Structure 1
Amino acid sequence: MKAEVFDIVAKYQAKADGKTDISTPLLNAWKEACASETASQVVIPKGSYYLTVAQLSGPCKAPIEVKLQGTVMAPADPHFFKDPNWVVFNNIDHFTLSGGGTFDGQGKTTWGKNDCAKNKYCKSLPINLRFNFVTNAMIRDITTKDSKQFNVNVLGCKNVTFEHLTVSNPEDSINTDGIHLGRSDGVTIQYSEIKTGDDCISVGDGMKNLHVNGVSCGPGHGISVGSLGKFQGEEPVEGIFIKNCTITGTQNGVRIKSWPASYPGTASDMHFEDIKMDNVGNAILIDQEYCPWNLCNLNMPSKIKLSKISFKNIKGTSSTKEAVKLVCSSSHPCDNVELANIDLTYKGPDGPATSRCTNVKPLLSGTMNPKACTAAPAPTAQ
């Protein structure tokens, strides 16, 4: 049976002129579609649209799809937003977002002002797409670009797949993670391309069963678990599988990071396999002394316990001499860490590449270039 179509232009008089706000027609189409007893499809046809804000909430009575064929643009002025939301999908089961269209956050005006370390301004900047408590969902053939803050945020979701997602932000756009995930179970990200100014994918607390496959990342800060331990009551991270990815020109490759002097927590069963690195800094990184603005007490070790971690078949070129860096907590050393078939070359004048291990004794197998754990430990903080 074909889904009933709710076209925001044909039926709800939305204007594709790039300046007339479509929030009311979109919300009206959504409400009618959501109330339908049979499958429905909200269509945003080709064209340019101006959208101030959209909160599209369920529960809906039947499966529902938003088919974005055009480009929707956010207000460029960040002061327009009272909270960090632009387009939010909330409390929906059996949801699809598709159509080949683009969400344009028009974030250029904000990136220079987005310094979270020194002021609270960044907290109010909107995220392009939020998925809150969405289950059994498919997001495919969608582009998100020029976000003011994160491109995509996933919270409290279950059984969600992102496929053929394109994230396009410039390298100098601060705090614009591609996809940030937390407190969700069973998320797949596959066959997608992420270019941004921060982590391509960042994994927050409470994330379980994340499968990333066939993703290209870069520019950006790599694929990261964490940072963990900054807040009280964080939930465990478990079951993170990153496979068949290409990482290019990023500040970091695959990394796990937790704060010193942290609240307690755990992260386990995390596996990075078949990753191609092209001119990547810190290609393999566990950093339990993560402290980006040097506002931490490094004498107080991280209380995040990391275990059951593997890095396998990771090959390519490093832009930093220290290609492998496993710095675990002195009070909670890493357990059951495995390195297998690592081949990373560094072409710098101070080469070749090195590998450093602190508070961890990894299990080694196969090729090991650089030779594991041969670099002298860094001096501890006084």
Structure 2
Amino acid sequence: MRKRWNSKIYVPKGTFYLGGVEFVGPCKNQIEFVIDGTLLAPSNPRDIKQDTGSTSVHQQSIYLRYRYTRWSREKSWPLNDCHKNTNCPKLAMCRKLREEQSEKDVNGITVRDTVFNGTSDGIRIKTWESSAAKIVASNFVFENIQMINVGKPINIDQKYCPYPPCEKTGASHVQIKDIKYKNIYGTSKNKVAVNLQCSKSFRCKNVELIDINLKHNGVEGGPSTAVCENVDGSARGKMVPQHCLA
């Protein structure tokens, strides 16, 4: 009987410009993506081939591990003018779950041992508010992650609708479930350090918070807070801010 081997993609220490990355499945075994280096978005987004400009995930099981890796988009992201330019270039970003019936389920993603430093978001799961595809995003693990002055350290946003042609015509049909956040610590620039805003039609299920310590370090003053909408889950261990899970 042939033994099945997991696959590993390894990025060594060093600085590398980020191009198009696409994971296409399904595959029978888990894929491990280990990054020890620093990934930079090109300062000119047109340097990215436009047919591969975003990171797409269609795998049934992918394991991501970053060792104090820095993802940097500070030079390219201010060039984002897609809200007014229909021919805007693709930027280095992860593909979003959205209004498209061809989308597939996303299952089994693990991210651990990394640092977010000065980013607008930390751990973010977002779906278009009016997404019609009835798909499932499940079995995500986020563990041992440090936040340093991050805008929104923990963020589930199922009301994503930033600019036209996105239209707010109904709740997201994407089901998010079985999500674990463990040992997430550091500082948040916003008072709302934990934001869990799920679909009113498909509530988030089994969201676990374990040993969360996110202190507010912004100009507003006061302690960090948490917001929960349409989410079921549990919490244990150290909890800053106080959780709001039912």
TM-score above 0.5, yes or no: yes
Structure 1 residue 340: deviation in Å? 1.2
Percent identity of the aligned residues? Answer: 32
Asked if 1:250 is matched to 2:119, the reply is yes
Residue type of the partner of 1:144? F
Structure 1 residue 160: deviation in Å? 6.1
Match of 2:180 in 1: 310
Given that residues 253 and 285 in structure 1 are in contact (C-alpha distance below 8 angstroms), is that contact kept between their aligned partners in structure 2? yes
- What RMSD over aligned residues (CA atoms) do the two structures have, in Å? 3.1
Match of 1:153 in 2: 21
1:164-197 deviation per Cα after TM superposition (whole angstroms, max 9, x unaligned): 343223789699899724223xxxxxxxxxxxxx
Find the aligned partners of 1:370 and 1:171 in 2 and give their Cα distance: 36
Given that residues 97 and 128 in structure 2 are in contact (C-alpha distance below 8 angstroms), is that contact kept between their aligned partners in structure 1? yes
Residue type of the partner of 1:311? Y
- Structure 1: tracts of 5 or more residues without a match: 1-134, 185-206, 375-382
DSSP 3-state at the match of 1:227: coil
1:229-279 deviation per Cα after TM superposition (whole angstroms, max 9, x unaligned): 232221111101111111100000001111111122110001111111000
Asked if 1:281 is matched to 2:151, the reply is yes
2:200 corresponds to which of 330, 340, 344 = 330
Match of 1:209 in 2: 62
Work out which of the two has the higher radius of gyration on C-alpha atoms and give 1 or 2: 1
Structure 1 residue 370: deviation in Å? 0.9
* 1:309–1:225 CA distance, 2 compared to 1 (3 A): farther
* 1:215–1:230 CA distance, 2 compared to 1 (3 A): farther
- Structure 2: tracts of 5 or more residues without a match: 1-5, 75-92
Match of 2:110 in 1: 241
Given that residues 54 and 94 in structure 2 are in contact (C-alpha distance below 8 angstroms), is that contact kept between their aligned partners in structure 1? no
Structure 1 residue 161: deviation in Å? 4.2
Given that residues 239 and 268 in structure 1 are in contact (C-alpha distance below 8 angstroms), is that contact kept between their aligned partners in structure 2? yes
Normalised by the length of structure 1, the TM-score is: 0.49
- The number of aligned residues is 212
Describe how 1:42-191 pairs up with structure 2 within 5 A: 138-141=9-12, 143-145=15-17, 151-156=19-24, 159=31, 161-169=33-41, 180-184=55-59
1:92-118 deviation per Cα after TM superposition (whole angstroms, max 9, x unaligned): xxxxxxxxxxxxxxxxxxxxxxxxxxx
Find the aligned partners of 2:176 and 2:47 in 1 and give their Cα distance: 25
Given that residues 229 and 303 in structure 1 are in contact (C-alpha distance below 8 angstroms), is that contact kept between their aligned partners in structure 2? no
1:259 corresponds to which of 125, 128, 131 = 128
Find the aligned partners of 1:178 and 1:346 in 2 and give their Cα distance: 34
Match of 2:215 in 1: 345
Residue type of the partner of 2:214? L
Structure having greater relative contact order (Cα 8 Å, sep ≥ 6):
2
* 1:162–1:372 CA distance, 2 compared to 1 (3 A): closer
Residue type of the partner of 2:70? C
* 1:330–1:140 CA distance, 2 compared to 1 (3 A): closer
